[in-house]
Chains A and B, each alone.
Chain A
Protein backbone atom coordinates (compact mmCIF):
# COMPACT_ATOMS: atom_id res chain seq x y z
CA UNK A 1 0.00 0.00 0.00
CA UNK A 2 1.30 3.41 -0.97
CA UNK A 3 2.23 5.58 1.98
CA UNK A 4 3.07 9.27 1.74
CA UNK A 5 4.99 11.04 4.49
CA UNK A 6 5.57 14.75 4.82
CA UNK A 7 8.26 16.29 6.95
CA UNK A 8 8.14 18.50 8.89
CA UNK A 9 4.55 18.38 10.15
CA UNK A 10 4.77 22.05 11.05
CA UNK A 11 7.17 24.85 10.25
CA UNK A 12 7.39 28.49 11.31
CA UNK A 13 9.89 30.85 9.66
CA UNK A 14 10.38 34.61 9.36
CA UNK A 15 9.20 36.38 6.26
CA UNK A 16 11.72 36.48 3.42
CA UNK A 17 13.36 33.13 4.07
CA UNK A 18 13.65 30.41 1.49
CA UNK A 19 12.32 27.06 2.66
CA UNK A 20 11.94 23.44 1.63
CA UNK A 21 9.08 21.07 2.34
CA UNK A 22 9.67 17.35 1.98
CA UNK A 23 7.50 14.51 0.74
CA UNK A 24 8.41 10.83 0.54
CA UNK A 25 6.46 7.90 -0.83
CA UNK A 26 6.97 4.17 -0.51
CA UNK A 27 5.96 2.93 -3.98
CA UNK A 28 8.08 4.56 -6.68
CA UNK A 29 5.82 3.36 -9.51
CA UNK A 30 3.84 6.57 -9.54
CA UNK A 31 2.13 8.20 -12.49
CA UNK A 32 2.43 11.75 -11.22
CA UNK A 33 2.74 13.81 -8.05
CA UNK A 34 0.91 16.97 -7.07
CA UNK A 35 1.51 19.64 -4.48
CA UNK A 36 -1.52 21.43 -3.02
CA UNK A 37 -2.08 24.17 -0.51
CA UNK A 38 -5.05 24.27 1.84
CA UNK A 39 -6.16 27.39 3.67
CA UNK A 40 -8.24 27.03 6.86
CA UNK A 41 -11.84 26.07 6.11
CA UNK A 42 -11.13 25.81 2.42
CA UNK A 43 -10.57 23.12 -0.15
CA UNK A 44 -7.27 22.32 -1.77
CA UNK A 45 -5.64 24.44 -4.45
CA UNK A 46 -3.37 22.68 -6.91
CA UNK A 47 0.08 24.29 -7.03
CA UNK A 48 2.21 22.04 -9.21
CA UNK A 49 1.79 18.71 -10.96
CA UNK A 50 4.89 16.71 -11.91
CA UNK A 51 4.69 13.76 -14.26
CA UNK A 52 6.79 10.68 -13.49
CA UNK A 53 9.04 11.48 -16.46
CA UNK A 54 9.76 15.00 -15.21
CA UNK A 55 12.33 16.15 -12.68
CA UNK A 56 10.85 19.48 -11.66
CA UNK A 57 8.17 22.07 -12.22
CA UNK A 58 8.24 25.77 -11.47
CA UNK A 59 5.52 28.32 -10.87
CA UNK A 60 6.52 31.76 -9.70
CA UNK A 61 8.32 31.46 -6.38
CA UNK A 62 7.54 27.75 -6.16
CA UNK A 63 9.71 24.93 -7.45
CA UNK A 64 8.87 21.27 -7.02
CA UNK A 65 11.33 18.50 -7.71
CA UNK A 66 10.77 14.78 -8.10
CA UNK A 67 13.20 11.90 -7.62
CA UNK A 68 11.02 8.94 -8.38
CA UNK A 69 13.68 6.29 -7.82
CA UNK A 70 14.29 7.41 -4.25
CA UNK A 71 10.63 8.14 -3.60
CA UNK A 72 11.09 11.82 -2.80
CA UNK A 73 9.76 15.19 -3.76
CA UNK A 74 10.52 18.64 -2.43
CA UNK A 75 8.65 21.90 -2.64
CA UNK A 76 10.92 24.94 -2.54
CA UNK A 77 9.39 28.30 -1.66
CA UNK A 78 11.57 31.31 -2.37
CA UNK A 79 11.35 34.62 -0.52
CA UNK A 80 8.47 33.49 1.69
CA UNK A 81 5.59 35.88 2.43
CA UNK A 82 2.90 35.86 5.16
CA UNK A 83 0.37 34.98 2.45
CA UNK A 84 2.19 31.69 1.97
CA UNK A 85 0.95 30.55 5.38
CA UNK A 86 -1.18 27.45 4.79
CA UNK A 87 -1.03 23.68 4.94
CA UNK A 88 0.87 22.16 2.04
CA UNK A 89 -0.07 18.65 0.93
CA UNK A 90 1.72 16.24 -1.33
CA UNK A 91 -0.21 13.57 -3.23
CA UNK A 92 0.90 10.73 -5.48
CA UNK A 93 -1.09 9.00 -8.16
CA UNK A 94 -0.42 5.34 -8.90
CA UNK A 95 -2.43 5.41 -12.10
CA UNK A 96 -3.02 1.99 -13.60
CA UNK A 97 -6.75 2.56 -13.66
CA UNK A 98 -7.04 3.10 -9.91
CA UNK A 99 -7.60 6.81 -10.18
CA UNK A 100 -7.34 8.71 -7.03
CA UNK A 101 -4.53 10.22 -5.11
CA UNK A 102 -2.80 9.15 -1.92
CA UNK A 103 -2.17 12.20 0.22
CA UNK A 104 0.34 12.96 2.91
CA UNK A 105 -0.88 14.58 6.12
CA UNK A 106 0.62 17.90 5.13
CA UNK A 107 3.03 20.48 6.46
CA UNK A 108 1.46 23.36 8.36
CA UNK A 109 3.48 26.43 7.40
CA UNK A 110 3.46 29.75 9.21
CA UNK A 111 5.36 32.72 7.82
CA UNK A 112 5.97 35.30 10.52
CA UNK A 113 5.66 38.94 9.36
Chain B
Protein backbone atom coordinates (compact mmCIF):
# COMPACT_ATOMS: atom_id res chain seq x y z
CA UNK B 1 0.00 0.00 0.00
CA UNK B 2 0.90 3.64 -0.24
CA UNK B 3 0.95 4.37 3.47
CA UNK B 4 1.81 2.86 6.83
CA UNK B 5 -0.69 0.14 7.72
CA UNK B 6 -1.48 -0.95 11.27
CA UNK B 7 -3.60 -3.83 12.46
CA UNK B 8 -5.87 -4.33 14.18
CA UNK B 9 -7.39 -0.88 14.20
CA UNK B 10 -9.12 -1.66 17.49
CA UNK B 11 -8.36 -4.26 20.13
CA UNK B 12 -10.25 -4.96 23.34
CA UNK B 13 -8.59 -7.40 25.68
CA UNK B 14 -8.93 -8.58 29.24
CA UNK B 15 -6.40 -7.62 31.86
CA UNK B 16 -3.60 -10.16 32.01
CA UNK B 17 -3.84 -11.28 28.39
CA UNK B 18 -1.06 -10.80 25.84
CA UNK B 19 -1.60 -8.72 22.69
CA UNK B 20 0.30 -8.28 19.45
CA UNK B 21 0.10 -5.14 17.37
CA UNK B 22 1.32 -5.11 13.79
CA UNK B 23 2.84 -2.40 11.61
CA UNK B 24 3.53 -2.54 7.88
CA UNK B 25 5.74 0.44 6.99
CA UNK B 26 5.99 2.12 3.64
CA UNK B 27 8.02 -0.03 1.28
CA UNK B 28 11.68 0.95 1.29
CA UNK B 29 11.55 2.86 4.56
CA UNK B 30 14.44 1.75 6.72
CA UNK B 31 13.44 3.48 9.94
CA UNK B 32 10.39 2.45 11.96
CA UNK B 33 9.06 3.97 15.18
CA UNK B 34 6.45 3.00 17.76
CA UNK B 35 4.68 5.66 19.81
CA UNK B 36 1.91 5.56 22.39
CA UNK B 37 -0.77 8.23 22.67
CA UNK B 38 -2.85 8.25 25.82
CA UNK B 39 -5.99 10.31 26.34
CA UNK B 40 -5.05 13.86 27.18
CA UNK B 41 -1.34 13.13 26.88
CA UNK B 42 1.22 13.78 24.21
CA UNK B 43 2.86 11.12 22.12
CA UNK B 44 5.25 8.91 24.05
CA UNK B 45 8.23 7.44 22.17
CA UNK B 46 8.55 3.69 22.71
CA UNK B 47 11.14 2.22 20.35
CA UNK B 48 12.97 2.89 17.12
CA UNK B 49 14.22 0.41 14.51
CA UNK B 50 16.88 1.03 11.89
CA UNK B 51 16.53 -1.97 9.62
CA UNK B 52 15.98 -4.93 11.91
CA UNK B 53 17.96 -3.61 14.84
CA UNK B 54 16.64 -1.42 17.61
CA UNK B 55 19.32 1.07 18.67
CA UNK B 56 16.95 2.83 21.00
CA UNK B 57 14.62 0.89 23.28
CA UNK B 58 14.69 3.52 25.98
CA UNK B 59 11.02 4.34 25.73
CA UNK B 60 9.61 0.91 26.45
CA UNK B 61 7.69 1.41 29.72
CA UNK B 62 8.36 -2.00 31.24
CA UNK B 63 9.69 -5.46 30.48
CA UNK B 64 6.16 -6.50 29.53
CA UNK B 65 6.69 -4.57 26.30
CA UNK B 66 8.80 -5.93 23.47
CA UNK B 67 9.06 -5.32 19.75
CA UNK B 68 10.70 -6.93 16.79
CA UNK B 69 11.13 -6.23 13.14
CA UNK B 70 11.86 -8.82 10.50
CA UNK B 71 13.14 -8.48 6.96
CA UNK B 72 13.54 -4.77 7.45
CA UNK B 73 9.80 -4.45 7.01
CA UNK B 74 6.95 -5.61 9.26
CA UNK B 75 7.17 -4.89 12.96
CA UNK B 76 5.18 -6.30 15.86
CA UNK B 77 4.78 -4.72 19.27
CA UNK B 78 3.91 -7.27 21.96
CA UNK B 79 2.48 -6.42 25.35
CA UNK B 80 2.42 -9.27 27.84
CA UNK B 81 0.09 -9.50 30.83
CA UNK B 82 -1.73 -6.34 29.82
CA UNK B 83 -2.75 -3.83 32.47
CA UNK B 84 -5.47 -1.20 32.34
CA UNK B 85 -2.85 1.56 32.15
CA UNK B 86 -1.73 0.06 28.83
CA UNK B 87 -4.95 1.32 27.25
CA UNK B 88 -3.96 3.86 24.60
CA UNK B 89 -3.58 4.37 20.88
CA UNK B 90 -0.38 2.78 19.61
CA UNK B 91 1.00 4.56 16.57
CA UNK B 92 3.62 3.31 14.16
CA UNK B 93 5.62 5.55 11.84
CA UNK B 94 8.26 4.99 9.23
CA UNK B 95 10.74 7.18 7.41
CA UNK B 96 12.99 6.68 4.43
CA UNK B 97 16.01 7.12 6.64
CA UNK B 98 16.46 7.86 10.30
CA UNK B 99 15.76 11.45 11.21
CA UNK B 100 19.40 12.11 11.94
CA UNK B 101 20.52 10.76 8.57
CA UNK B 102 18.58 12.90 6.19
CA UNK B 103 17.41 16.46 6.07
CA UNK B 104 14.27 15.52 4.20
CA UNK B 105 13.02 12.36 5.83
CA UNK B 106 9.74 13.16 7.55
CA UNK B 107 7.83 10.56 9.49
CA UNK B 108 4.77 8.92 7.95
CA UNK B 109 2.29 7.63 10.50
CA UNK B 110 -0.28 4.86 10.39
CA UNK B 111 -3.79 5.34 11.79
CA UNK B 112 -2.90 3.51 14.96
CA UNK B 113 -4.29 0.63 17.02
CA UNK B 114 -6.67 1.62 19.77
CA UNK B 115 -6.06 -0.78 22.66
CA UNK B 116 -8.58 -1.08 25.47
CA UNK B 117 -7.76 -3.28 28.45
CA UNK B 118 -10.81 -4.16 30.54
Interface residue ranges, A against B (CB under 8 Å): 4, 31-32, 34, 36, 41-46, 49, 51, 89, 91, 93, 95-106
Contacts and interface: CB of A to CB of B under 8 A. Distances in A.
Contact of B108 (A42, A46, A95): A46
A106 B42 CA distance: 7
Interface string B79-118: 0000000000001010000111001101111111000000
Interface stretch (B11-19, B52-60, B67-75): B52-60
B100 A101 contact: no
Given A43-B91, A103-B42, A104-B42, A95 B58 contact: no
A34 B43 CA distance: 14
Interface in B35-81: 35, 40-43, 45, 48, 50, 55-56, 58-59
A46 B107 contact: yes
A44 B93 contact: yes
B98 A51 contact: no
Contacts of A105: 40-42
Name the residue in B45, B56, B59, B108 with the highest tally of chain A Cβ atoms < 10 Å from its Cβ: B45
Contact of A44 (B31, B55, B109): B109
B26 interface: no
A104 B99 CA distance: 18
Given A43-B91, A106-B42, A101 B111 contact: no
A93 to B, nearest CB: 5
A103 B45 CA distance: 9
Nearest to A3: B42
Contacts of A45: 109
A101 B103 contact: no
